[in-house]
Amino acid sequence: MAYLMVDIESDGPIPGDYSMISFGAVLVDEKLDKTFYGKLKPISDKFIPEALAVSGYSREETMDFDDPEKVMSEFAQWTREVSKDRPIFISDNNGFDWMFICWYFHHFTGSNPFGFSSQNLGSLYKGIERDTFKTFKHLRKTAHTHNPVDDAKGNAEALLTMKREFGLKIKF
């Protein structure tokens, strides 16, 4: 199975009404050298300035980003190339990240290569620690910059640490 760590940035809380501005993905393996980065033109006139500010882009800059259908098609192709079998979506906050990726895939390509499920890195770590108040964020090596590739890479590093240091049974 291929685990793909994904992180997204948006200009609001939900897809459709608001837009996914950018996202990054990294194939989880020891090298962490297979990445994808997409910047998407907004699909809605609505945006929350404070939410958009997290991405580091202005509204004007985002208007020059790529067509979402093109980006999602390219991401689907990349996913097929790096996954020998079924890809598994995992993220720091899969409730948020998955919602946007799933909606964009179905809306712009008609299907989602990840199927209908995702995994949550934070919940996985809480289970390893047997403590719902624990956070994995100290296991990241790459700084959390809100560049979605950096953030996905840092989260993938945390997952690799869980495998090495805590004996997590996971195949890459």
Q: What does the alpha-carbon distance between residue 130 and residue 58 come to, in Å, rounded to a whole number?
A: 41
Q: What does the alpha-carbon distance between residue 134 and residue 62 come to, in Å, rounded to a whole number?
A: 36
Active-site positions read 146
Give strand pairing partners of 88: 3
Query: Residue 104 CA to chain centroid, in angstroms?
Result: 13
Identify whether the C-beta of residue 10 lies closer than 8 Å to the C-beta of residue 43: no
Identify whether the C-beta of residue 8 lies closer than 8 Å to the C-beta of residue 20: yes
Q: Which residues contact 157 (CB under 8 A, 6 or more apart)?
A: 32, 139, 140, 141, 142
- Residue 14 token pair: 């939900």
- Give kind and range of the element (H or E) at residue 153: helix 148-166
